[in-house]
């Protein structure tokens, strides 16, 4: 009787070893493929933090977000500090020479040799020229139009149509004394950094602009 029990015990161990070997073999061969399938089926995500409200700095977040959405990605923009201006109903951003030393300018009209020339104007000189901001803004708008580049307002509209999530920083709204009525109706959420950061952490790409 004891000998029979010993044989049964040995057979159980062997069976367990065989099951364990089969499981390991399955995991070794199937798990990488399954993980690859999960990765391939995952929707990429993009989070952008927009901090500036000038015309030249408005293009990057809207272009990147609208492009990501067109590729089928989940995209969101967190507008904070001066970046909140990009969500205002009365949007009138201008090109600023501040922080753009020797900013290259392009002439939007005239002969080709003139339009292709970079007009590197020193920052100190730009800040002392009356009406330079208006002139630089007009030149950039005209150049963008000539090249078939959408306006900032159009790009913002594309983002909204593509369901890019527009998130406004509630702390900055309170700090600057804004009201929610100052902004477009398409703002998806009004939250602080504590709510945005966990979402950004899980994003495949996070950009600070």
Same-domain status, 87 and 163: yes
Note whether 114 and 85 are same-domain residues: yes
Say yes or no: 144 and 107 in one domain: yes
Q: Tell whether 68 and 150 lie within a shared domain.
A: yes
Query: Do both 27 and 83 map to the same domain?
Result: no
If we measure between CA atoms, which residue out of 48, 51, 54 comes closest to residue 152? 54
CATH of the domain at 118: 3.40.1260.10
Claim to verify: residue 60 and residue 29 sit in the same structural domain: no
pTM > 0.85: yes or no: no
Parallel/antiparallel/unpaired status of strands 118-120 and 104-106: antiparallel
Is 113 in the same domain as 97? yes
Q: Are both 54 and 35 inside the same structural domain?
A: no
Structural domain count of the chain: 2
**Residue 20 lies in domain:** 1-42
- On whether both 157 and 196 belong to a single domain, the answer is yes
Residues 105 and 142 in one domain: yes
Burial (Cβ within 10 Å: 0-12, 13-18, ≥19) of residue 58: buried
pLDDT tens for the chain, residues 1 to 209: 444 444 555 677 776 777 777 777 666 676 666 656 666 678 899 999 999 988 888 999 999 999 999 999 999 999 999 999 999 998 887 777 655 544 555 555 566 655 565 555 555 455 555 566 676 777 777 777 777 888 889 999 999 999 999 999 999 999 999 999 999 999 999 999 999 999 999 999 999 99
88 and 143 in a single domain? The answer is yes
* Rounded Cα gap, residues 119 and 202, in angstroms: 42
Residue 82 and residue 128 share a domain: yes
């Amino acid at each position: 009787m004891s000998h029979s029990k010993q044989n049964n015990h040995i057979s159980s161990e062997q069976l367990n070893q065989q099951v364990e070997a089969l499981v390991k073999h399955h995991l070794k061969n199937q798990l990488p493929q399954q993980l690859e399938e999960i990765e391939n089926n995952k929707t990429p995500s993009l989070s952008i933090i927009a901090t500036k409200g000038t015309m030249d700095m408005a293009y990057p977040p809207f272009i990147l977000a609208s492009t990501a959405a067109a590729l089928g990605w989940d995209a969101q923009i967190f507008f904070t500090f001066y970046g909140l201006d990009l969500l205002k109903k009365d949007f009138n951003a201008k090109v600023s020479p501040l922080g753009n030393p020797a900013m290259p300018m392009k002439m939007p009209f005239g002969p080709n040799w003139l339009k292709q020339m970079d007009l590197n104007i020193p920052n100190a000189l730009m800040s002392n020229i009356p009406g330079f901001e208006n002139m630089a803004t007009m030149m950039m708008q005209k150049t963008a139009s000539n090249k078939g580049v959408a306006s900032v307002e159009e790009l913002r509209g594309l983002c909204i149509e593509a369901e890019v999530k527009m998130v406004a920083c509630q702390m900055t709204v309170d700090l600057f004394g804004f009201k929610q009525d100052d902004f477009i109706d398409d703002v998806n959420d009004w939250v602080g950094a504590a709510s945005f950061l966990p979402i950004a952490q899980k994003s495949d790409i996070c950009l600070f602009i």
